[in-house]
């Protein structure tokens, strides 16, 4: 078990209504977890709390047997989590290399290690190394999604979290992204947590969960 949520609840400070209700789930390395649910069901809020972007109102989140409240939040976000959220993950005016290097710079990765890690990451996501100095704005949508993932991998995290980056993908792009996430879990022993309503992605999940009105429900395992 790498991360565990125990009786987690969340509500916005200005409201009394609970957005997340009594969430209990354990995550393990080497597995893909898919969370489905309608817009507004609480999926993105759940991923945001797991990512350390906000604190739960009640309950506990345990990461590697330590309560998340006791862990330095910047260290957790920059070293333990690779988060892929729609629309605001990339420096659009920066190059591909700029985007991948940014998290490494925060973590003060050594120069030699950076070069080796970048090569490894680009192989994993299937991105052409000759395009490293191209601005992100000039990439295709599929290439941008690969860089979303590459950037999330640049700090070599245990947890990869994605808020539906396969939305609006065509069938080929969708399968490419799914294959990358499956490989990250099954070959590289990452814990991959994806919020999506893709039926195809759901069929690949090691564990499938559903969210409705702030409640998380187990559906099935492979």
Mean pLDDT score of the chain:
91
- Over residues 198-205, the mean pLDDT reads 95
Which residues share a beta bridge with 9? 58
Confidence at residue 15, expressed as pLDDT on a 0 to 100 scale: 78
Structure tokens at 60: 């506990």
Indicate yes or no: pTM above 0.75.
yes
Between 105 and 90, residue with greater pLDDT: 90
- Over residues 179-208, the mean pLDDT reads 96
Q: What percent of the chain has a predicted confidence (pLDDT) above 70?
A: 95
Residues 2-32 have pLDDT tens digits of: 999 999 999 988 778 899 999 999 999 999 9
Confidence at residue 122, expressed as pLDDT on a 0 to 100 scale: 95
Query: How many Å apart are CA 198 and CA 150, to the nearest integer?
Result: 22
For the chain, the domains span 3-221
- The residues, any chain, with a CB within 8 Å of residue 166's CB and separated by 6 or more, are 145, 173, 174, 177, 178, 196, 198, 201
Structure tokens at 92: 């659009």
Confidence at residue 216, expressed as pLDDT on a 0 to 100 scale: 97
Q: Does residue 114 register a pLDDT over 90?
A: no
In CATH, the architecture of 3-221 is: 3-Layer(aba) Sandwich (3.40)
Confidence at residue 110, expressed as pLDDT on a 0 to 100 scale: 56
Residues 144-192 have pLDDT tens digits of: 999 999 999 988 899 999 998 888 788 999 999 999 999 999 999 999 9
Q: Does residue 106 register a pLDDT over 80?
A: no
Best CA proximity match to 190, nearest among 102, 82, 62, 116: 82
How far does Cα 70 stand from its chain's mean position? Answer: 22
What strand order describes the sheet that includes 191-195? 81-84, 159-163, 191-195, 32-36, 207-212, 215-221
Residues 41-99 have pLDDT tens digits of: 999 999 999 999 999 999 999 999 999 999 999 899 988 999 998 655 688 789 999 98
Residues 127-140 have pLDDT tens digits of: 999 999 999 999 99
Query: How many Å apart are CA 183 and CA 185, to the nearest integer?
Result: 5
Q: Exposure pattern of 182-191 as b/e (b: 16+ CB <10 Å)?
A: bebbeeeebb
Between CA 181 and CA 21, with CA 39 as vertex, the angle to 5 degrees is 90
């Amino acid at each position: 078990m790498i991360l565990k949520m125990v009786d987690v609840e969340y509500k916005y400070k200005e409201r009394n209504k609970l957005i997340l209700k009594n969430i209990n789930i354990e995550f393990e390395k080497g597995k893909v977890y898919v969370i489905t649910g309608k817009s507004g069901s609480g999926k993105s809020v759940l991923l945001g709390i797991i990512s350390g972007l906000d604190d739960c109102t009640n309950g506990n989140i345990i990461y590697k047997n330590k309560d998340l409240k006791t862990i330095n939040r910047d260290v957790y976000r920059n070293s333990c989590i690779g988060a892929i959220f729609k629309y605001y993950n990339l420096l659009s005016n920066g190059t591909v290399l700029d985007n991948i290097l940014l998290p490494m710079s925060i973590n003060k990765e050594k120069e030699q290690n950076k070069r080796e890690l970048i090569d490894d990451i680009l192989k994993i996501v299937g991105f052409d190394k000759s395009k490293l100095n191209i601005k992100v704005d000039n990439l295709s949508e599929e290439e941008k999604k690969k860089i979303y993932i590459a950037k999330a991998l640049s700090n070599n995290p245990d947890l990869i979290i994605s808020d539906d980056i396969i939305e609006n993908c065509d069938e080929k792009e969708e399968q490419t992204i799914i294959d990358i996430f499956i490989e990250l879990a099954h070959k590289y022993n990452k814990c991959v947590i994806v919020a999506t309503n893709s039926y195809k992605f759901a069929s690949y999940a090691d564990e499938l969960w559903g969210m409705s009105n702030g409640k998380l429900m187990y559906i099935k395992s492979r």
